[in-house]
Amino acid sequence: MNVLVYLVPAALSLGLLGLAAFLWSLRSGQYDDMEGAALRVLEDDDVVT
Amino acid sequence: MPETLDLSLYVQHRDGTAHIDLAVEGVACGGCIRRIEGSVKALPGIVEARLNFANRRLAVDWREGEADAAQVIATLARIGYRAHPFRPERAEIEEARHASFLMRCLAVAGFAAMNIMLLSVSVWSGNVTDMTPETRDFFHWFSALIALPAAAYAGQPFFRSAVAALRARRVNMDVPISLGVCLALGMSVVETIGHAEHAYFDSAVMLLFFLLCGRYLDHAMRRKTRAVAGNLAALKAETAHRIDARGEVVIVPSAALRAGDRLLIRPGERVPADGVVLTGASEIDESLVTGETERRAVAPGAALYAGSTNFSGALTLRVTAAGSGTLIDEVERLLDKAVAARSRYLRLADRAARLYAPVVHATAALTALGWLIAGASLHDAVVTAIAVLIITCPCALALAIPAVQVVASGALFRRGIILNAGDAIERLAEIDTVVFDKTGTLTLPEPRVANAGGIAPDLLETAARLALTSRHPLAVAVAREARERAPIDGASEEPGQGVRAVIDGVEARLGSGVFCGIAQATESHAPGTSVICFAHGERHAVLAVRQQMRPDAAATVRALAARGLDVHILSGDRPAAVAPIAQALGVAQWRGGMKPAEKIAIIEQLAASGRRVLMVGDGINDAPALAAAHVSLAPISAADIAQAQADAVFLGDRLAPVGDAVTVATRARALMRQNLALAVVYNAIAVPIAIAGLATPLIAAIAMSGSSLLVTLNALRAARRRSEAAPPAVAPALAPQARPA
């Protein structure tokens, strides 16, 4: 079972990476306007025709 | 003369760029985002414009000197959005910071709970199969590595609150929570060192996760209502015409007025600040101040109160220091007294905690003692006692009330009721008497055409559309009847006479009887009624304008009485004006001509006889009574000082929110009690198991999550609507359609 010694920490650090990503997105204000984000994604005014 | 708009009060400057926040009305769909941002960004000098759709606020940054805020507002007005300058309150910024802290705690606790559970489940299954003790110890140490820092971070909201409570020599729900978490972690570390089979890391962190969920939701709901309240305040904020030193008129927000400023107040405008009349003569409608519906004639030297409406002539006013009028002085004095006398309401959750903490801690101590006497080792006795503390850790109890609170305030919010005070729901559920103010509360805040039913609809519509061009209070009342809001082109106003325009080739006039060529019926029908005439060629009509009852006032009062509540009316208006309203509503207990001190005296008298009073009022004269009552409601049209004292504010022209508030609150309180009962039942089952020493971490995990889920699901029932009489959907509540001021 020695494989656990590095597999469990590896799993944990992947999880930590996810947590860090979430905290970063929180800090950068991505959750400040949930309704607006849902509507903005439908805008296509940045498409050059 | 083009008037300049001075918004310097709201503009923030930061190294070369200026910033303003605007609350925008009428944002309804995704297309609005692009139109608003696009048109603002197209202006020269604008650096950034970003609309927050969730709270209908637009943040604009521009390079200093290249653009200005008035230009942005004018641009938005041109594409059909009214924007109101806005300065976020300190409390709101503080709450946003706290919400983001709670969210970080929640994320950390959630991450830790998931990972520890992963290890714990392995240990639980390993304990009944072939896991080696070394692997188990490794998993326990790993759990400790995750749990200790996570709990230290995510537990901060509870630890801080518990320490604060203990310092004040009080006990709140956070004290047993913090104690339970700390002991569970401490014991688990000791057990891990001793190579034991069980550790409670998962219980401790899961507990924090569940509680943080409840706390975050509670906080989010409060933030949402506060944001709406902030927007409403911005929409209501008035502007004033200030006459500067050179005699030019500048439009400034009322918040920027200082004592000594000279103001111009035109007919139909609200008086934005207390002051003394310098020049001009007019009639003043003070219904928002005193409840009196009869207008008062004013001449130079007369004192005016903020909130009254100038009716007929233009006035200039010198602003006096806030709260210097005799009436305001009296109201302030009564208010101070009422606020000082108000006893701090002890919330249900705190009462439960007061009862709960000593019982739980005594049980744990007795368990340890019992096991020692029964001959167990000190280690086993202490471990069992801590297991009791962990299992009784008030997860369900701490969620029982906030969960209902969140759901109920959401339900109230959808019905157009915005809570100011956190404990308002609990207090609302306890009332047995309702006291209404008349003017602006039972009646609509603005006068309406009383005889609209007796006038040909097309004639009324023409009159209403013509009235849209005038700001005279009577014309504004007539304009409310317009179904189509497009004013008629080419209308011209003759001051003091009326408006006229050519409609369909025929001249139409709206104004005094003489102006319209109608001789008869220009005198008032009754006190408090004003008459305005309309002539369109040969056809003509006489419109009676007066304060009217809210459309559903009678039904609401009847419904309140049917619930067994005692309904009173206390009005500052003349008894003769109150009597017909009281009669129409079937209210026997009414009084008119009440001074603020008399209102408060009656409220106190009712309270002294053991009644719990809900006061509903809107005027400055109601503010002390609102503060003195057990719980209070104010319509959104209420004077600022009254709104600040009210526990909740309701939107719209209907009175139904008063009934809804009581209904939702009563049901919420019943659910809170049910949830507390559920928590007690849970403890009654779980505690004997723990005392018997059978509470393994697996049982603790199941019991804790099971009971939390149960109370949360039960709380969701607070949002259920009554099947009969579904309330009308409140217009997108985040940006209620502003009624013309």
Cβ of B53 within 8 Å of Cβ of A39? The answer is yes
What is the predicted pLDDT for the residue at B724? 38
Which residue would you say has higher pLDDT here, B144 or A42? B144
Torsion of the alpha carbons at B662, B666, B667 and B668, rounded to the nearest 10: 100
Instruction: Give the residue with greater pLDDT, B299 vs B140.
Output: B140
- The full set of domain ranges for chain B reads 1-87, 90-237, 412-445+551-665, 448-546
Report the alpha-carbon distance of residue B573 to residue B438 in Å, rounded.
8
The ipTM (two decimal places) reads 0.89
For the record, the structure tokens of B604 come out as: 């106190």
Nearest CA to B508 out of B549, B538, B478 is that of B538
Could you read off the pLDDT of B245-281 as tens digits, one per residue? 887 888 888 777 888 888 888 887 888 888 889 888 8
Kindly state the average pLDDT of the residues B475-502: 79
Q: CA-CA distance, B317 to B713, in Å (whole number)?
A: 58
User: Does A36 sit within 8 Å of B135, measured CB to CB?
Assistant: no
Spell out which residues of chain B touch residue A24, defining contact as CB-CB under 8 Å.
none
Q: Give the nearest partner residue to A23 out of B34, B107, B118, using CB atoms.
A: B107
What is the DSSP annotation of B417-459? EEESSTTHHHHHTT--EEEE-IIIIIB-SS-EETTGGGS-HHH
Contact B33 A5 (CB under 8 A): no
For residue B527, the model assigns a pLDDT of: 64
* A15 at B interface, C-beta within 8 A: yes
Whether A8 and B142 lie within 8 Å, measured CB to CB? yes
- A33 → closest Cβ in B54, B115, B138: B54
> In this predicted structure, which of B214-218, B234-238, B292-296, B711-715 has the lowest mean pLDDT?
B234-238
Best of A25, A33, A46 to disrupt the B interface (most B CBs within 10 Å) is A33
**What average pLDDT does chain B have?**
84
Q: Is A10 on the interface with B (CB under 8 A)?
A: no
Select B448-546's CATH number: 3.40.1110.10, 3.30.365.10, 3.40.50.2300, 3.40.47.10: 3.40.1110.10
| CATH 1.20.58 given to domain B90-237 | no
Looking at domain B412-445+551-665, its CATH superfamily turns out to be HAD superfamily/HAD-like (3.40.50.1000)
Q: Do B138 and A32 count as a contact with CB atoms less than 8 A apart?
A: no
Q: Do A36 and B146 touch (CB under 8 A)?
A: no
d(C-alpha B315, C-alpha B295), whole Å: 16
Instruction: Please tell me which residue, B518 or A29, carries the higher pLDDT value.
Output: A29
- Per-residue confidence (pLDDT) for residue B305, from 0 to 100: 82
Tell me which of B685 and B525 has the higher pLDDT.
B685
Catalytic residue among B202, B285, B437, B647: B437
Question: How high does pLDDT run on average in chain A?
Answer: 85
Give B365-401 pLDDT, tens digit per residue: 999 999 999 988 888 888 888 888 888 776 777 788 8
- Please write the tens of the pLDDT for every residue from B398-414: 788 888 888 888 888 88
User: Residue B624 pLDDT > 80, yes or no?
Assistant: yes
Confidence (pLDDT) at B732: 40
Minimum distance, in Å, between the CA of residue B111 and any CA atom of chain A:
7
pLDDT computed for residue B522 by the predictor: 52
| Lowest-confidence pick of B122-126, B424-428, B539-543 | B539-543
pLDDT at A45: 65
Does the CB of A33 have a partner CB in chain B at under 8 Å?
A: yes
Q: Inter-chain contact B119–A33, Cβ cutoff 8 Å?
A: no
Q: What percent of chain B has pLDDT over 70?
A: 93
Entry pTM: 0.79
Q: Which helix (H) or strand (E) holds B535?
A: strand B530-536
- Report residue B576 CA to chain centroid gap: 34
Chain centre to alpha carbon of residue B489: 40
CATH fold of B1-87 reads: Alpha-Beta Plaits (3.30.70)
To the nearest whole Å, the CA of A49 is away from the closest chain B CA by: 18
Kindly list the residues of chain B whose beta carbon comes within 8 Å of any beta carbon in chain A. Answer: 29-30, 33-34, 38, 51-55, 100, 103-104, 107-108, 111, 114-115, 118-119, 132, 135, 138-139, 142, 146
The total of other beta-carbon atoms located within 10 Å of residue B107's CB is 19
Going by C-alpha positions, the residue among B145, B252, B619 that lies closest to residue B264 is: B252
Look up residue B327 and give its amino acid: L
Given a cut of 80, whether residue B330 has pLDDT beyond it is no
DSSP category for residue B717? G
- Predicted local distance difference test score (pLDDT) of residue B717: 81
Contact A15 B142 (CB under 8 A): no
Whether B437 is a known active-site residue: answer yes
pLDDT at B148 over 50: yes
The model's confidence at residue B526, banded by pLDDT at 50, 70 and 90, is low
Q: Quick one: which of B239, B286, B281, B283 has its CA closest to B263?
A: B239
CA-wise closest residue to B653 among B544, B547, B549, B724? B549
| pLDDT for position B102 | 94
pLDDT tens per residue, range B18-42: 888 888 888 877 788 888 888 898 8
